[in-house]
Every structure is written in C-alpha cells, then in structure tokens.
Amino acid sequence: MSSEAHSGIVGMVNCLRQEPGGSRIRCMFVSNLNGSSATPCLEPGQKSTESAMEGDLVMNVFRDGRWGTFRHQLISQEPKEELTESAFINVLTRGDLSSLRWITSPLRHSSSSSSSLQTCHVYYSSLNFRDIMLATGKLPPDAIPGDMALQQCLLGMEFSGRDPKGQRVMGLLPARGLATAVEADQRFLWEVPLSWLVTVITPLLS
C-alpha cells in the first residue's frame, strides 16, 4: 500500500512479481492528481479497501475519488512501410539480423546545405567486418571513436556511384553507406578511373 505523491511502488511491484510466488502480490496505490482530493484509508478491513480488492487486480489505483488500475501494454514497434527512392539499411534491434530494414532517408526532403558535401547516388556498397560486428551486437556503438555512438545508423562506410554531375565516384563515409543515396564529403570522394571500368567490362564483351 502506498499514498506517496512520488512513489516507486509500481516498479517495485513489477519486480516482486518476477520472484517465486510473486503472482500472489497485490498493490493499492493512491495517485491523486488534485491535491484537494480525499485520500481513502488503506488499512485492511475498511469498506473501500475491501471493495477494491474484490476485483483481484494486481494494481489497484485510487485517483481523485475513483478506483482504477494500471496496465502494462506493449505497443507495436512495426514500422510503417512506404515507397521511397531515398533509403538506408539499418538494424531495428541490435544483435537481431532479422530486424534489418530499409529506413527512409532524410535526404529525400532536402539536399546538402554545405558546399563541402555532395549528394551521390549509390550503385554499390560494401559490407565490412565492422558492420557485421555492429549488426550482430558483438561491437557496442560506444566503441566507435567520436560521437558516432549517438548516431541512428552506423552501418556502411564505403560506396561507389555517381555524383550530381554524373561522374562515377567512390567514397568513404563515417556511416550510413548501405543506402540508395548518401551525403559525401568531397575530401573523401574520388573519381573512378576509366581504366578500372574497361578492365571489368572487357572480359564480359569478349
């Protein structure tokens, strides 16, 4: 039983119910939002207490003149699906590869406002050892230098594609390279030599 304005009784009861025999635990909690509301007597044998306990609820909450309850209900985490040309790959639950999803990229709303950044269309992305360790949860985000641990997505560092002028380029990114489009720093963006394309294409034509 509790009648404190700021009480940890709900969390404590949830923990106690996880212990052996915890299924028998019941709680009565006064949670008035109005300071002038009457506070019922929570002593055993009182009429108001007995009527509340007849429902055999785990959490019996008295609030501003009425008895009610608190319920713990899981909210569906399934993301809303939509068609988009700008997206990146990320794990919704770190360590669970089945949660890999395409996520709508913020690049679809605006282009870069910095002259040092270029929005490039991605043709190929790499999946390196760091990506696998992060996705499987074997490498914690705070192991990455800088403020990367605060980023939404850490997967993907290398890519190749075309820059806004249509030039074939390759580049390095701090993250979010497994995408349809990326924002790349010009300092880490290089032109793909034409000779590399000829070397790959020639055997296919022979």
CA angle in degrees (0–180, nearest 5) for 150-109-84: 95
Classify each residue of 44-54 as buried b or exposed e, where b means 16 or more C-beta atoms within 10 Å of its C-beta.
Answer: eeeeebeebee
What pLDDT is recorded for position 7? 74
What pLDDT is recorded for position 113? 58
What pLDDT is recorded for position 32? 83
Residues ≥6 apart with Cβ < 8 Å to 123? 159, 160, 161, 162
What pLDDT is recorded for position 42? 76
Q: Give domain limits for the chain.
A: 9-68, 87-205
What pLDDT is recorded for position 141? 85
Residue numbers of the chain with a pLDDT score lower than 50: 206
CATH 3.90.180.10 assigned to domain 87-205? The reply is yes
In whole angstroms, what is the distance from residue 191 CA to residue 166 CA? Answer: 11
User: Judging by DSSP bridges, how do beta strands 27-30 and 59-63 pair with one another?
Assistant: parallel
What pLDDT is recorded for position 58? 87
Q: pLDDT tens digit string along 6-37?
A: 678 888 888 898 899 888 888 888 888 887 88
Chain-centroid distance of CA 169 in Å reads 32
What pLDDT is recorded for position 6? 66
